[in-house]
Amino acid sequence: MNIISNLLNSILGYFFNITGDFGIAIILLTLAVRVVLIPLSFRQKFGMQEQQKLAKGLEEIKEKYKDNKVKLESETQKYYQENSKSILGCLTSFLQLPIFFALYNVILKMPMSTATMLVPWVASLKMADNFFIIPTAYVISVLIPNLLPYVPFLSITTQAKISKTNILVSSIMSAIITFKAPIALGLYLITTSLFSAIEEIIFRIYVRRRELVA
């Protein structure tokens, strides 16, 4: 973890030397990390999609052989063996955690006492946003990926819509997280959420095209 943190800290210093603004440097560092993680992120998305297909297939098997327990067990085991790769694909998400935790620690431990041109109404990146503009922006950035399933053009058959209750809960939690958080952390979270939204849009467009061809 320390090796990753030191590497990210060096990259952050490099971006600051180029831009002269820690706020912009944080955004560039976050984007750089997310770009590197794109292959893992998309593999995770495909893995989750396969998991949903797997769950649907198991339900069909249970319904088909509900009166034959022996056949149900054999067909279930066979189905799991045939789809074991899709289960392993979802495990790639855990590989991203050490990098995200290291990036989070780098941002929190930065010795910052200067402002950023991105948030001119705050004197320091260590301060919270008393105008609540950063928390509001973060809530909106979190809402975007959750609302994509409700857009007809971006809807895909293999993925269920997130319930409105879950969307509301995630919005409230996002507001609480950034309510008194430093501006630096808010910039990181907003950049991450917006990047995730763009990834999700690209993924959905690709899957829709593949579904139409199939």
pLDDT values of the chain reduced to their tens digit, one per residue, 214 residues: 578 888 888 888 899 999 999 899 999 999 998 898 888 888 877 777 777 666 666 777 777 777 777 766 776 776 656 555 544 444 455 656 777 788 778 877 776 677 899 999 988 888 889 899 999 999 999 888 888 878 877 777 655 556 677 778 888 888 888 888 889 889 999 999 999 999 989 988 888 887 777 6
CA distances from 187 to 24, 108, 202 (A): 9, 12, 23
Phi-psi region of 159 (alpha: psi -120 to 50; beta: other; left: phi over 0): beta
- Determine the pLDDT at residue 110: 74
**How many domains, in total, are found in the chain?**
1
Q: Which residue bears the tokens 């292959």? A: 39
Which residue range is the domain that position 91 belongs to?
Answer: 2-213
pLDDT of residue 88: 47
Q: In one letter, which amino acid is 190?
A: I
What's the token pair of residue 168? 């509301």
Give the per-residue pLDDT at 41.
82
Task: Answer whether 0.85 is exceeded by the pTM.
Answer: no
